[in-house]
Chain A
């Protein structure tokens, strides 16, 4: 279903530009995780978030549990940032289950 909705579904960027990806939740998410799936298929965790923000290099992410959304900002996009970005929300209840969005496919070109 659409418990976790990501936008946009696809995005093309020029190297050196900035962009933002978004996740909206229709569940009361308690934590959020962001992942990058590279073109070879490997999944890498980017952020684990409780409500608030985190930054790592050119990536910055925020999670607002009251407004039920999370964002991932990419600054100075590089070719190696290409891939599919997934957000995943942990539903309330303490089950440690994640519900994934359908992903944003990012293509960075020179």
Chain B
């Protein structure tokens, strides 16, 4: 089964702070995804990637950057965090079909 890990698992920052969320997958999947989950909205796609160096814009990209440094590693960057970015963030990977999710990162922006 696919192994997707995320760090940190919990993060608290202040408005205007700089946050990096990390995701690693160890199953040689080409596709990786960042989602946010908020009550009443289900999961919404922020950014995704087809492979190292590739970045695709998702459905709710504003305020987020992402970078895929290797096939295994996908990072989500919040350069000026705002309270509206308080959420549960999930990373996922796939080989074009079944998506496998990491455990999630809870981010609180004060």
Contacts and interface: CB of A to CB of B under 8 A. Distances in A.
Interface residues of A, number: 20
Interface string A77-93: 00000000010100000
Contacts of A86: 42-43
A45 B100 contact: yes
Given A97-B48, A98-B45, A42 B103 contact: yes
B-side interface mostly: strand
Contact of B44 (A45, A48, A100, A103): A100
Pick the most buried of B43, B56, B94, B103: most chain A CB atoms within 10 A of its CB: B43
A96 interface: yes
B84 interface: no
A102 B40 CA distance: 6
